[in-house]
Structure 1
Amino acid sequence: MPVSLPQRRLPRQDPLPHVRPTVTLLLPLRRVAAVATAGALLALSACAPDLRAVGDPGPAGSPAPGGTASPAPSPVASPSPSPTLTPTPTPTPSTPTAPPVVTPTVTALYSEGDDGDGVRELQHRLAQLEWFEGKITGDYETATRLAVEGFQGKRTLPATGEVDQATWDVLVKMTREPTHDEMYNIMRPGPTLLAEGATGDSVKDLQARLKQIAWYEAKIDGIYGAKTVEAVRGFQAKREIPVTGEVDQRTLDRLKAMTRRPTTDELNNVAPKPGTMSLDDRCLSGRVVCISKAQRKLAWVVDGEIQMTMDVRFGSELTPTRNGVFSVYWKSRNHVSKLYGSAMPWAMFFSGGQAVHYSADFAARGYNGSSHGCVNVRSKERIDALYSQVREGDTVVVYSG
Structure 2
Amino acid sequence: MHRPLRFLPLATALLAALAGPAHAGQPLRLSTELAPATRPFSAPAPLAQALRHKMQAPLVRELQIRLRHAKYLAQYDAHERFDGRTREALRKFQKDQELPVTGVLDQGSWNALRAVSHEPTAAELTNTDVGPWFVNPGQLGYVLELQHRLRQTGHYTGALDGALSPATRTAIAAFRTSVGLPASSVMDERTWARLLPRSRSPRYAQLFNAPPESDETQILDPRCEQGKVVCISRAQKKMSLVVDGRILFTRAARFARPGWESPEGAYRIWYMNRDTISTIFGERTPMPYAIFYDGNVAIHFSDDFDQIGYEGGSHGCSQLRDYQVAHWLYEQVKVGDKVVVY
Question: Which interval holds the TM-score relative to the shorter structure?
Answer: 0.3 to 0.5
Which protein, 1 or 2, shows the higher relative CO under an 8 Å CA cutoff with sep ≥ 6?
2
Specify the structure having the higher radius of gyration (Cα). Answer: 1
TM-score under structure 2 normalisation? 0.40
